[in-house]
Amino acid sequence: MRINVVGSGYVGTTLASSLAALGHEVTAIDIDEEVVATINDGRAPIHEPGLDDLVAEHAGDRLRATTEYDAVADADVTFLAIQTPSREDGSIDTGALAAAARSTGEALAGGTERHLVVVKSTVVPPALADVRDALATGLGEPLATADGDGRVAFGTNPEFLREGSAVDDFRAPDKLVFGTDVSWAGDLLDEVYAPITADHDAAVIHTDPETGMMIKYANNAFLAAKVSLINDLANACKEFGIDAYEVADAIGLDGRIGERFLRSGLGWGGSCFPKDTNALIAAAEAAGYEPAMLNAAVEVNDRQPERLLDLLADHVALDGARIAVLGLAFKPGTDDVRNSRALPVIEGLHERGAEVVAYDPVAMDNMRAVAPDVTYADSAAAALDGADGALLVTDWDEFAALDGEFDAMADPVVIDGRRGVEARDGIVYEGLTW
Ligand SMILES: NC(=O)c1ccc[n+]([C@@H]2O[C@H](COP(=O)([O-])OP(=O)(O)OC[C@H]3O[C@@H](n4cnc5c(N)ncnc54)[C@H](O)[C@@H]3O)[C@@H](O)[C@H]2O)c1
Ligand SMILES: O=c1ccn([C@@H]2O[C@H](COP(=O)(O)OP(=O)(O)O[C@H]3O[C@H](CO)[C@@H](O)[C@H](O)[C@H]3O)[C@@H](O)[C@H]2O)c(=O)[nH]1
């Protein structure tokens, strides 16, 4: 099939190169010339394991990138994978996505072939109307309806991949959600994903566009709330002198609870959980419902960085101290620092008068752009050298292998926010929740 992917960020590049790998002819469209040039050069514009290889394999062949929307009409399906950032009040800003939908509509205007436009971005159900309207405005004609009228159909196909394992997640999803009211559009989505469903056991859910998106929000809300619940319990465990990881391992054996997403510590960051939870809260409140559990999940999450700093302050006088921050990415395996827990940790250290020396294997360039007032070290060893204390913020594997490097600290105090390093002789070691 011929497929367009509009937006070449974390989701768009994974989608475009993975669809090319499945045998489709893919055009990636992005307004950022550098992003487009990078893909056409055979490289991924972002760090994601396996993505460079995938882009290198297919760029110039079944995958090409462009800044021009002219290519849109040559395809059967267009996916919109555009950012939907949070506004101040937590609601999502659909401006960039609506602009892309409108440009897509304009490129399809006056055509004769059927075409499906699919929202891959995460959009709260009530805000989907903005995107639908922008597409119809650009197109200049009504969108296809359930009873068969109309040439250009609208749909949603939320994405459940995780950063750090995006390529593998895309190839082996546990479910595929196709949200459209138009039956031929649902058939097209079946066709797009046929190479995956042919040899992988994924549940395929056909539903309407709004329910499709609600499944996405409910999925993320459930996982974020699960982490907040274990953090709430783990904070109590810490006060009782109990190891929350031992408790989590035991309750995870109950199949109704499940062992995953029970790692307590600094809490959730990233481009999705904070944004999506806040957007769902804002949309529910706008509709007249106060979601108490979701509000509590955010509140517990917001507390964890401050608790980490309080623990450090129990051992180190922070004013004027030099503190090593190990890990800046919001989780291992990615260079993404959006809403990373490292941000409130660094801000809190500065507020308490500390100097911050930070190290991350891949996320330092991204963090430097948003936190220029930090000293960036070339290695974990360099960050630890002479430090008065260290905070483990991201559980990269290379930190677990640290050993003698801690001996170079002026004051060997290590506070671990992720259970990412072992306690060892000669250092004062404390876990946030154990
Ligand atoms: N990052 C994830 O792990 C993830 C997972 C699932 C869903 N999502 C959702 O997918 C969406 C995209 O997220 P992302 O992390 O890939 O965003 P991103 O910021 O990495 O990428 C967005 C891309 O869209 C481009 N763009 C912006 N306006 C454009 C326009 N008018 N025309 C063409 N291109 C344009 C930008 O230049 C950028 O390259 C969001 O709604 C997000 O919530 C993200
Ligand atoms: O037991 C756990 C599991 C996760 N986290 C934290 O939770 C955040 C999110 O982790 P994860 O879900 O692995 O990463 P994302 O790449 O943000 O993926 C989530 O967000 C994506 C965007 O919506 C969805 O597609 C994925 O299904 C969903 O898992 C990170 O800060 C983790 O450190 C914990 O603190 N404890």
Over the stretch 314-335, which tens digit does the pLDDT of each residue have? 999 999 999 999 999 999 988 9
Q: Helices 128-139 and 209-240 meet at what angle, rounded to 10?
A: 150
Give all strands of the β-sheet with 355-359 in edge-to-edge order.
375-376, 355-359, 322-326, 389-392, 413-416, 428-431
Q: Is the pLDDT of residue 217 over 90?
A: yes
Rounded distance from Cα 368 to ligand 1 centre (Å)? 21
Q: Does the annotation place 265 within a ligand binding site?
A: yes
* Ligand 1 atom with minimal separation from the 35 CA: 39
Establish whether residue 261 lines the binding site of ligand 2, counting it when its CB lies within 6 angstroms of any ligand atom.
yes
Q: What pLDDT shows up at residue 369?
A: 97
| 237 has catalytic annotation | no
Single out the catalytic residue among 196, 237, 272, 391.
272
Residue found by looking up tokens 């050069």 in the block: 41
* Vertex 121 angle, CA 118 and 124, to 5°: 100
Report the percentage of the chain scoring pLDDT > 70. 100
Q: Is the pLDDT of residue 424 over 90?
A: no
Q: Is the pLDDT of residue 148 over 90?
A: no
Residue nearest to atom 35 of ligand 2 (CA): 267
Q: Does the annotation place 62 within a ligand binding site?
A: no
Query: Shortest CA distance to 209 belongs to which of 228, 237, 185, 191?
Result: 185
Say how many C-beta atoms besides its own lie within 10 A of residue 163's C-beta: 25
Of the pLDDT bands very low, low, confident and very high (cuts 50, 70, 90), residue 36 is very high
Residue nearest to atom 38 of ligand 1 (CA): 9
Q: Is the pLDDT of residue 161 over 90?
A: yes
Residue found by looking up tokens 């891949």 in the block: 362
State whether ipTM is beyond 0.95.
Answer: yes
| DSSP sequence for 303-318 | HHHHHHHHHHHHHS--
Query: Shortest CA distance to 392 belongs to which of 273, 217, 263, 296?
Result: 263
Q: What pLDDT shows up at residue 322?
A: 98
Establish whether residue 335 lines the binding site of ligand 1, counting it when its CB lies within 6 angstroms of any ligand atom.
no
Residue nearest to atom 10 of ligand 2 (CA): 268
Establish whether residue 220 lines the binding site of ligand 2, counting it when its CB lies within 6 angstroms of any ligand atom.
yes
137: Cβ–Cβ under 8 A, 6 or more apart, which residues?
A: 102, 105
- What is the mean pLDDT of the segment spanning 48-62? 96
- What is the mean pLDDT of the segment spanning 83-110? 97
Q: What pLDDT shows up at residue 71?
A: 86
Rounded distance from Cα 331 to ligand 2 centre (Å)? 8
Rounded distance from Cα 5 to ligand 1 centre (Å)? 11
- What is the mean pLDDT of the segment spanning 141-154? 94
Q: What pLDDT shows up at residue 47?
A: 86
Q: Does the annotation place 275 within a ligand binding site?
A: yes
Q: What pLDDT shows up at residue 154?
A: 98
Residue nearest to atom 30 of ligand 2 (CA): 268
